[in-house]
């Protein structure tokens, strides 16, 4: 592998990993928000029932 091969390998791995982490973070955040909304809805319906 030539010098540019090593450079592109390093840059590709780093930016690829950071993008994967960013997308996984956004997905985890959306899932958590969805769960929170469900819990709040259940809480409200419980209070209404009381």
Partner 1 sequence: MVKSVEKTKRGTGILGALAFTAVAVGLYWGLVQAPPDALQGDVQRIMYLHLPSILTAYLSFFLVFIGSCLYLWKREKRDDNLAHSAAELGVLFTALTIVEGSIWGRPTWGVWWTWDARLTLTAILLLIYTGYLMLRSLIDDENRAAVSAAVLGIIGFLDIPLIHMSVYWWRTLHQPPSILRPDKLPWENVDPAMLAALGVNLLAFMLLYFYLLSLRLRLGEVRNEIKSLRLSRGAY
Burial profile 3-29: b = 16 or more Cβ within 10 angstroms, e = fewer = eeeeeeeeeeeeeeeeeeeeeeeeeee
Residue 49 C-beta: closest distance to partner 1, Å: 13
* Residue 10 structure tokens: 């390093």
Residue 7 C-beta: closest distance to partner 1, Å: 5
Rg (CA), the chain: 22
Residue 24 C-beta: closest distance to partner 1, Å: 10
Point out which residues bind partner 1 (CB under 8 A): 1, 3-4, 6-7, 9-11, 13-15, 17-18, 21-22, 25-26, 28-29, 32-33, 35-36, 39-40, 42-43, 46
């Amino acid at each position: 592998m030539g010098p540019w091969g090593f450079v592109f390998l390093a840059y590709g791995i780093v930016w690829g990993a950071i993008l994967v982490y960013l997308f996984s973070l956004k997905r985890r955040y959306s899932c958590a928000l969805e769960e929170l909304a469900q819990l709040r809805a259940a809480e409200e319906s419980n209070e209404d029932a009381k």
